Amino acid sequence: MRTRTRDHMTLLPSESDNVLEHKHDCSTVTSTKSLNFDYPVGTLETMTDVVIPNFHSRVREGEVFVNPMTKTYSEAKCSMSTMSYRVNKKPGQACAYTQTVNKHPSGLNNRGAPLGHVSVPIDIGRLHTIAGTSATAAIDAATFESFVFAAELRETLEFLRNPLANWNRFLGAVRRSKNKNLYDRGKTVHDFLIDNWLSYRYGIRPLVNDIQNAIQAVKDTGSTRPPRRTARGTASEGDSASETRDVGGGYVHNATTSRQVSVRSGILYQGYRDPNTWGLTLSDVPGAAWEALRLSFIIDWFANIGPWINAITPIAGVKILASWTTTRDERVSSGSVYWSDGGSSVIGPRIITANGATQESLVSRSVTRQPGVSVGLTLKPQPFNGDIGKARLVDIWGIGTGLLKAR
């Protein structure tokens, strides 16, 4: 194992600027406040990997290596601000009592440690399974899936027939009537939009994709492909969390962390037969059977059943040369400690005029590559996140409306 480091960390100064205190007799006293723990700021990078003797010459001779590797990066920042308060003058006092501390460290001292990340749980093992299963399912993937196309063709045409007929009737009614509202009474705008949204999502668009894949399959027929190919799969999940807590002395700590984890799996393989251009091998049958089941695509939003079926189906004429899984984990945090409750002194309540808030940030990134991929059946995270999640919600609404109307 070899480890390399780039360390550009320094420590925050342990002592702040001078403290200026005005006593009751209006005299001035100065002192200092110190940060009582080490607070590293700056950047730190490390990389650990495995050194392969004669790596380049052995690769030229055809050997394949997947080296375990871990790379980390962290960046921390912190700035302190002024804390000040006053106690109003009372009868008999020569002057009001005030105190000002530049770069006040008391809030950090009460917390007792540098800013850390708020816990954001993400099941990385599940992401490994999703990505690895998708990569395994993509081995020797067909350019055009003939079995799937044949199984879905009747349903696709039947699905398209009514929306297209409704569209034709709508145009005919508009031509025959100067007031198209006469036709609108028979079919609501809601019904019309839902019908045509679903026909686009699950009728027209897949059909266009099939036509494009068929054209590519014709081009690929008879052409030679590299003997070594790579199948890939991906998975990702992100979330965030916040915390707020009292750290004593009237100081409050708050922090927010956002986390994003992405996993990429790859499988390098070699084929000993012609590529599966048209998807007509026996190994294509189980996956096509699953695709042919009504609403199976909705189940695949929540679990990786389709890729898992393809992944566990044996494929003849293929040799696995190497496989790997790369995990990227990024956490970005921001936080502060500030004086929220001045409390009271023996002469009266402290009125906060500057809360001495710190501004802190912490970024941590790691990239890990390990040999092998995970294959299994698992639930998928966050099926309704992002733009694709919004489209799926509309799909469920439309499909549910159609099922309720069905007789």
pLDDT tens digits, 276-334 = 655 556 666 666 677 767 677 777 778 888 888 888 887 767 888 999 999 999 999 99
pLDDT digits (tens, 9 = 90+) for 135-168: 998 887 654 454 455 555 555 555 555 555 555 5
User: 182 pLDDT exceeds 50?
Assistant: no
What pLDDT score was predicted for residue 153?
Answer: 59
Q: Note whether 15 and 33 are within 8 A (CB).
A: yes
Mean pLDDT of 181-192: 51
Q: Cα(first)–Cα(last) distance of the chain, in Å? A: 68
- Spatial strand order of the sheet with 2-11 comes to 2-11, 40-49, 69-79, 359-371, 318-339, 251-271, 228-248
What pLDDT score was predicted for residue 312?
Answer: 81
What pLDDT score was predicted for residue 216?
Answer: 57
What pLDDT score was predicted for residue 183?
Answer: 47
Mean pLDDT of 351-380: 93
Mean pLDDT of the chain: 78
Q: Tell me which range, 119-128, 143-152, 213-222, is most confidently predicted by mean pLDDT.
A: 119-128
Q: Which residue has the higher pLDDT, 372 or 402?
A: 372
User: 399 pLDDT exceeds 80?
Assistant: no
Any idea which residue has 């030229």 for tokens?
60
Neighbours of 281 (CB within 10 A): 17
What pLDDT score was predicted for residue 206?
Answer: 61
- Cα distance between residue 253 and residue 333, in whole Å: 13
Q: Specify whether the backbone of 54 is left (phi greater than 0), alpha (psi in -120 to 50) or beta.
A: left
Lowest mean per-residue pLDDT among 81-85, 103-107, 168-172? 168-172
Q: Which residue has the higher pLDDT, 93 or 364?
A: 364
